[in-house]
DNA sequence: ACTGAAAGTACCACGAG
DNA sequence: CTCGTGGTACTTTCAGT
């Protein structure tokens, strides 16, 4: 990943459907040259894919929360992943060093659904307690990775 | 947004560079019909854009944190957005109902940079205190909206 | 540089209101 | 009759080698 690759990546983050020719004219390369670089970055895992950015409200996703989880003792990251990933409303999860042990991002259609998800997480394993923050307004969110 | 639109959106979330013909064969429409629907959803704001999914490590983004902000009194969402959005390391920000007043997602190249960002947020306005959680491992994150 | 495929556009057909 | 939506045909541009 040199400077040109980073320029290409920046362009693709701003417009994931940009044509290779368009990107090329921005970075001073021909379309095939850009394609070869993009292919290489996909193969190497630097680019993991392309996606559409959707207004969550359009999918009925109107309620959103961040939930901290406090565990009783140590729980492995892989076990956590295995228990959280099957829950479709959990759109992201991280283990952290700080007060809580993990942070979970939940998106749902309403508050009752959030509560169900939180209870489902609590049932499982060695959860000592949870602490939820309901999102009032999404100020902004920049496109990134996955 | 009818059922067909949701199918198209699902397809585009899985592959943001899928061709209209390919999507059409999945949902039983011709390529131009799909294009018209996509154009309409972009115009209406249901689809806000397309982006590449990048491995953060490939950009040097190896350190990540969630920072809670506690304010002294009320601060408007618009003021918060105005103060946080210019900081490039802040990749997402939400006002919440819960213990903190806001949650901020920070990505940086190292811990020192995280600290700088937190201090910069503290300087501003009526921040009473902050509480940070450093991400140890990203368990997973599903592609969504912005 | 070249070939096949996709994007994009124009125009017509059909059904619901 | 009109509006919305889909299809086909065609041109231009892009992808892929």
Find the CATH number of the domain harbouring B61.
3.30.70.920
Euclidean distance between CA atoms A111 and A65, whole angstroms: 9
Q: Detail the protein residues whose CB sits closer than 7 A to any atom belonging to strand D.
A: A 19-22, 31-32, 35; B 4, 24, 28-33, 36-37, 40
CB-based contact B47:B53 (threshold 8 Å): no
Under an 8 A CB cutoff, do B146 and A53 touch?
yes
Chain B partners of A50 at a C-beta cutoff of 8 Å?
15-17, 50-53
The reply to whether A14 and A69 lie within a common domain is: no
Closest nt to residue A22, judged CA to C1': D14
Token pair recorded at residue A115? 């509560």
CA atoms within 13 A on the CB side of A56: 20
Backbone angles phi, psi at B143, to 5 degrees: -60, 135
Q: What is the CATH number of the domain that holds B17?
A: 1.10.10.10
Residue A88 lies in a domain: yes
Note whether B10 and B80 are same-domain residues.
no
How distant is C1' of D11 from CA of A4, in Å?
34
Higher pLDDT, A74 or B129: B129
Which nucleotides on strand C sit less than 7 A from a protein beta carbon? 1, 5-10
Beta-carbon-side half-sphere exposure of residue A55 (alpha carbons within 13 Å): 11
Same domain, A74 and A122: yes
User: For residues A138 and B104, is the Cβ–Cβ distance under 8 A?
Assistant: no
pLDDT per residue as tens digits for the range B106-120:
999 999 999 999 999
Kindly state whether residues A96 and A66 are assigned to the same domain.
yes
- Tell me the C-alpha distance between B104 and B66, whole Å: 6
- Domain-embedded: residue A146: no
- In the prediction, which pLDDT does A73 show? 87
Query: Is B145 part of a structural domain of the chain?
Result: no
Choose among A114, A112, A113: nearest CA to A104. Answer: A114
Q: Is B137 in contact with A77 (Cβ distance < 8 A)?
A: yes
Q: How far apart are CA A112 and CA B56, in angstroms?
A: 34
- Count structural domains, chain B: 2
The string of pLDDT tens digits covering residues B66-114 is 999 999 988 999 999 999 999 999 999 999 999 999 999 999 999 999 9
Domain assignment present for residue B112? The answer is yes
Is the Cβ–Cβ distance between B37 and B23 less than 8 Å? no
CB B146 within 8 A of CB A142: yes
Q: Please give the structure tokens belonging to residue A2.
A: 């040199």
Q: Is the pLDDT of residue B65 over 70?
A: yes
Quick: pLDDT tens for B13-49.
999 999 999 999 999 999 999 999 999 999 999 999 9
Does the distance separating the beta carbons of B144 and A146 come in below 8 Å?
no
pLDDT of B146 higher than 70 = no
- Whether residues A63 and A108 share a domain: the answer is yes
| Residue ranges for chain A with pLDDT beneath 70 | 125, 145-146
- Nearest of A37, A24, A7 to residue B59 by alpha carbon: A7
Residue B107, domain member (yes or no): yes
Does residue B73 sit in the same domain as residue B39?
no
Name the residue range of residue B70's domain.
56-134
Smallest Cβ distance to B103: which of A49, A66, A92? A66
CA atoms within 13 Å, Cβ hemisphere of A54: 26
């Amino acid at each position: 990943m040199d400077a040109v690759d980073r320029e290409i990546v920046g362009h693709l983050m701003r417009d994931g459907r940009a044509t290779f020719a368009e990107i090329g004219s921005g970075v001073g390369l021909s379309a095939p040259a850009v394609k070869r670089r993009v292919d290489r970055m996909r193969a190497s895992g630097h680019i993991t894919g392309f996606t559409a950015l959707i207004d969550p409200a359009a999918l009925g996703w109107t309620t959103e929360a961040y939930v901290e989880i406090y565990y009783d003792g140590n729980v492995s990251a892989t076990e956590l992943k295995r228990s959280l990933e099957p829950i479709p409303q959990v759109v992201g999860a991280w283990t952290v060093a700080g007060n809580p042990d993990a942070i979970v991002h939940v998106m749902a259609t309403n508050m009752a659904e959030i509560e169900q998800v939180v209870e489902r997480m609590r049932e499982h394993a060695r959860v000592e307690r949870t602490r939820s923050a309901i999102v009032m307004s999404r100020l902004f969110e920049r496109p990134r990775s996955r």
